[in-house]
Amino acid sequence: MVTKRSVATAIIFTFITCGIYGIYWFICLTNDVGTLSGDDRFTGGKHFLLTLVTCGIWGYVWCYQLGKHIQEAQMRSGYPASDNSVLFIILNLFGLSIVTYGIAQADVNKLV
């Protein structure tokens, strides 16, 4: 079940919990996008473990895939599709992954 999450609340909880909520948000967001795009293999646990094992390198692959899956979900729902894959990679290169989460969550909220 895909639920709406407040972007501002999620960011505040991530800072308050020193990133622990950010891990939960990453996993839930990835699962939600996988569900909306119709790809059951796009799961948060798998991508979190791959990012952990590769010391963060897989996070760039995840960003690209996240953008593509959101675009697919938008096309399936009849919304105007936007491909933010490159933007997500650039944000992560500058250490702004929480901004990536926020943009992706806003897109998911529009689809729910």
Tens of pLDDT, residue by residue, the chain (112 residues): 898 999 999 999 999 999 999 999 999 999 999 999 999 999 999 999 999 999 999 999 999 999 999 999 999 999 999 999 999 999 999 999 999 999 999 999 999 9
Whether 2 is covered by a domain: the verdict is: no
Place of tokens 């839930």: 28
Q: How many domains does the chain have?
A: 1
Whether 40 is covered by a domain: the verdict is: yes
Whether 67 is covered by a domain: the verdict is: yes
Whether 77 is covered by a domain: the verdict is: yes
Whether 45 is covered by a domain: the verdict is: yes
Q: State the pLDDT at residue 1.
A: 83
Residue 12: domain span: 7-111
Q: State the pLDDT at residue 19.
A: 96
Whether 69 is covered by a domain: the verdict is: yes
Nearest-angstrom CA–CA distance, 103 and 30: 13
Nearest-angstrom CA–CA distance, 62 and 77: 22
Which secondary-structure segment (H or E) carries 92? helix 85-93
Whether 1 is covered by a domain: the verdict is: no
Whether 29 is covered by a domain: the verdict is: yes
